[in-house]
Amino acid sequence: MTSEKKIRVLAAKPGLDGHDRGVKVICRALRDAGMEVIYTGLRQTPQQIVKTAVEEDVDVIALSILSGAHNELLPKVAGLLKEQQAEQISLLAGGIIPDSDIPYLKKKGIKEVFGPGTSMNTVIDYIKNYCAR
């Protein structure tokens, strides 16, 4: 895909959560699928995440969170994106997020939530389809 513009993804860990096995696996999978991936490392505030996303001009933000702070932190990222008029960036989430929280998160602007057991291809296909639109 040399002539095409590569899909750019920011993978981020909001909050204080240190579980990064999943996010690193996803980073690698997306890169192997031909995307450009930037990983923030741990302990990112919503402000830092949105700032990096805008500066790096990404198409997608993939947020990984397993600490249970998703209902507080994820809508904040969505709100800041809106403030920055960067709502074209697709906001995805993965980690330990109970099914019953997903409707709330979607209402707040999270496009999709990928729970434990999601295959890497599911995430890759979702992002490719989104960016092809």
Binding site for another protein (CB under 8 A): 15-21, 24-25, 27-29, 31, 36-43, 45, 56, 67-73, 96, 98-100, 115-117, 119-121
Residue 110, Cβ density class (10 Å: 0-12 exposed, 13-18 middle, ≥19 buried)? buried
Q: Radius of gyration over alpha carbons of the chain, in Å?
A: 13
Q: Which is nearer to another protein, 128 or 133 (CB)?
A: 128
Q: Nearest distance from residue 130's CB to another protein, in Å? A: 20
Cβ–Cβ under 8 Å, residues 12 and 61: yes
Q: Which is nearer to another protein, 4 or 99 (CB)?
A: 99
Q: Which is nearer to another protein, 111 or 118 (CB)?
A: 118
Alpha-carbon distance of 104 to 111, in angstroms, equals 11
Q: Nearest distance from residue 25's CB to another protein, in Å? A: 5
Q: Nearest distance from residue 41's CB to another protein, in Å? A: 3
Q: Nearest distance from residue 75's CB to another protein, in Å? A: 10
Q: Which is nearer to another protein, 71 or 85 (CB)?
A: 71
